[in-house]
Structure 1
Amino acid sequence: MKFPEQRPRTASGARGRPAGAPSPATPTAPRPQTADCNPTGRTASNLDGAAPYWNSYTYTASGQRATEKSNTGTPTTRTYCYDPARPHALAATTTGATCLGLTPQYAYDATGNTTKRAETPGSTTSQTLNWGAEGKLTKTTEGATATDYVYDADGELLIRRDPAGETVLYSGPNEVHVKGAKKWATRSYSIASVKIAVLTNESGTTKLSYVAGDGHGTSSLSLFQPDRDAGLLAVKGFTQRRSSW
């Protein structure tokens, strides 16, 4: 199942919690084999369900993420390092013992927009982001490839052009795609601003899917008509994709 790409939003660094919130480690262990979530049962061997994972987080007193620990396989702890001159701006992440001497992996402009970020936490591959005068993301660049974004007079995304040669026109609930000689369209249907269905002819045949999502508007479950096959997008606690099928 191919889930639709989310439209660009303001890029950010680490996601924290409100200042003054308590800062214990916060484990996330979806669907343990046992029926209760007692801490004694939080072991890698006790995980269950599709695409199981177990991450733990700690936070600073001001609500910034301090560490992220992956508890499955070979346990790995990643430390989040912040710019001393801008305490809420993530500068780098590391699996090492200290933040001292690290080359910045993230950069920001004067208004706080992210202008450079690691492709993934700790990656040596970076992505450059360009912003327009109205604070809209206009281009993302990775190496020699770039994706461009054009907005209408109301500031809504109108056109996206990616390095694979695909151009997408956004018009309300409709998307018109062109990639080489291939052309197709997608229409979303909503009730009370909640997306419930998607109609597309990308495969050459018109197909309707009913969709369900999370509180952030990300569609994570699709039910295809008329065969009723299902597709599921599994994410971690901070919306990181972990698998889809």
Structure 2
Amino acid sequence: MALFGNPFFKSESKETEDDYSKGVLCLQKGNFYDADKYFRAAAASGHVSALYNLALINGGASISPCDIDFAISCFRKAGNGGHPKAKEFSTWIDKAEDTSFGTRALAMFAAQLPAQNEPNHLLMMVGCRLYSALCTQYEASDSVVEYELDAASTSDHPYIHRFIDRTGVNKSIYSGGLNRVQQGSAADQITDGLNHLFLGLKHSGHSDDLGLMIRCTIVGYIISKSKHANAASPLLGIDKFFAR
């Protein structure tokens, strides 16, 4: 709850402010789905704090589906509306999209995050946009996806195999992907960046499970922007990602 903090903005509309207040009450009860519903209603009338909270809920994968693009849209609107934190950190997303943020910087950010049991919204938004942009820039989406899914297929975790199934990518496509990536290639450097991101999260005390979920979400986001997008299922939030 500390992330959500005190409201920055107060609407002149009683109905809008009531929706926002109901959303806050839902947050206090840990009811992210109803909070999302009320914040969306308030955000439709331009409530800046509601927009910011929507970015936290959706960007932090508190609900399913985990809609990263919606989270980023809300985050930017909140920044444009004057929300101080959104305004400050929207530049990180801009830099992720033009790839000037860098995978090392993201891994360092992960290594400095306080350990928690849910994904950090900023890490998720920046990570998804950064790695997607890198794959597009270097035409490496196919190689990265095949490498990541082939590696994931060796996991002992059932939730990883359920993730692979949700990508809709046929095994015949990704099988052998680990061996097809050439050392020093763009795909090799991108997947190495994902390795460092996972290690950064581990260094800061995050569980392996959470680190793997974040990695899967980034890979799933890359897939959602690739030729495999139509076959892929929506990304799942933390409430359903590990569910059997």
Structures share fold, TM-score greater than 0.5: no
Instruction: Output the TM-score relative to the length of structure 2.
Output: 0.27
Q: Relative to total residues, which structure has the larger helix share, 1 or 2?
A: 2
Instruction: Output the TM-score relative to the length of structure 1.
Output: 0.27
